Amino acid sequence: MMASHRFVTEQFTALHAGATAGLPSSATRAKGTARRASCGTPRRPLDSARRAAESFPALVFTACALLAVVLTIGTAAPVFAADEPTFEAGFAKQDITPPVGMPMWGYGDRHADLSEGVLDPLWARAVVLRAGDDKLALVGTDLGRGPTIAMMEVIRDRLRSEAGIEHVIISGSHSHHGPVIELTDRPGYGAGKFDVAVQYAKELPGKLIDLILAADAQLQPARLGVGIKNVALNRNRHTKRQPKSTEPMLAVVRFDATDGSPICVLVNFAAHPTMIESKILKYSADYPGAMHKAIADELGIESMFMQGAAGDQSANPPQGTSGHEQFGAVLGREVAEIARSIETAVPAEPSIVGQVDRFTFGSRIDFNNPWIEVAYGRAFFPELIKNFAEEMKGGVPAELNTVVLNGEIALVSGSGEYFCNHSNRLKERSYLPHTLFFGYANGHNLYFPTIEAVSEGGYGADPPVSPVELGAGEQMMNQALINIYTLTGQIAPPPRVPSGDAASATSD
């Protein structure tokens, strides 16, 4: 979310009456299991020729019986093979472009200005993966953020009951030319003034559920491969310290059917989609939309985009390139080059294991102070802030998802705008072959700067747009790392941690 930094700060300074202290905590950690191999006691050889002779008829009978068992097992092999986990993938997409006449998300200086048209459609794209009885749904949308906490509860409940999908990560691309999705059907919170937006928010969970179920219906035996390339297509928009950190990794996960025909590619890259001027009040996917088009032109396949740790990252167009369409085309061609180089394979040991951690962090802003709500309402607009403040009055809620795919690929997501070094350091400390980070997922709790970024100050690090307690992002990345190693059985799950003075945490 962006607003005039000076304006937000002025409103905040004029009306701020103090920030809350850290909340009491009781941290819990995940329980896990480790599989152990076992073996039987070997038989001892016969100790004399006499006993061998006496046992000959029995040995002949035993040999014949063993031969019969072997032959039986051979003919029944497909039955036993069917019990082994298989890896499957299915893809679907759905147009989620809202009607015109809704407040637009992202730029605070637009306040409640209503959308006037469509530059290009907004889409949601999903891939569902299955390994044995376990399923994972990954969804990338052209929205500014992930679904609200209330939306995620509805989505998870229905997917669990209707399709057995336990693991769900829904990420917004963070386009600043999408709709506000936070308004609710209550006076003062959106109803009566922004009824079109309220209705869209009511319908959005159902649309995302239908999309995921459509992808689930397309499940088929699949192969996958991962390609990584460091690119210079983003820049640090926050720090003045040299060298400026970036998240250079462009990751592509390619899913193919077992015959080699493409299912889709998943793209993970970190840069704010803010390449269209705020005064243009029309819906657009920004550069990710142009990227999808370029991939389709180059490869003729479907693609989905999962935004990375873009809190302090902006697009960095190469020389001679300008605008979201040209930049998206450059990015799409890079993706196509990586995708062509990937050799997909059926996973040797298909598996999906995951962990959800929910935190309630202390806040640097007192959202129980009515004057704070007034200040934010002036910077954005009152109905949006009423919904936002209501979620934050008990502390800053945050969700962390950790999923390990086939024992080799870690997928980590967080509900906000994480500075790039959170992702960089997690990847450095994760010893799996591949670790990907998705931001703006399953909620949105504004910025999660690094500790050193807070010391530097500035937009994205100061309390008005980063109310979460100092060090919250580091706590979440540490938990993600613990999850990666416990989910892969490399370390034992840690014991319960006694209550302390930091954040409270619960694990599913």
Residues across the chain: 508
In tens, the pLDDT along 244-292 reads 999 999 999 999 999 999 999 999 999 999 999 999 999 999 999 999 9
Average pLDDT, the chain: 87
- Weakest-pLDDT range from 227-231, 330-334, 497-501: 497-501
- The residue with greater pLDDT, 220 or 32, is 220
SS3 for 293-317, per residue? HHHHHHHCCCEEEEECCCCCEEECC
Residue 16, pLDDT > 70, answer no
What's the confidence (pLDDT) of residue 252?
98
Greatest C-alpha distance within the chain: 103
Residue 506, pLDDT > 80, answer no
In tens, the pLDDT along 45-69 reads 323 333 333 443 443 334 334 334 3
pLDDT class for 494, splitting at 50, 70, 90?
Answer: confident
What's the confidence (pLDDT) of residue 80?
37
Residue 491, pLDDT > 60, answer yes
Sheet of 220-230: strand order equals: 167-172, 134-141, 123-131, 87-95, 220-230, 249-257, 262-269, 303-307
SS3 for 367-392, per residue? CCCHHHHHHHHHHCCHHHHHHHHHHH
Q: Residue with structure tokens 């749904």?
A: 137
- Weakest-pLDDT range from 11-15, 141-145, 174-178, 484-488: 11-15
Question: What residues does each domain of the chain span?
Answer: 5-27+350-507, 87-341
Rounded-to-5 percentages of helix, strand, coil across the chain: 35, 25, 40
In tens, the pLDDT along 305-341 reads 999 999 999 999 999 999 999 999 999 999 999 999 9
Residue 394, pLDDT > 70, answer yes
Residues with Cβ within 8 Å of residue 38, at least 6 apart in sequence: none
Q: Which strand (E) or helix (H) includes residue 152? A: helix 149-163
Closest CA to 303 of 253, 264, 334, 276: 264
Candidate ranges 68-72, 193-197, 492-496; pick with highest mean pLDDT: 193-197
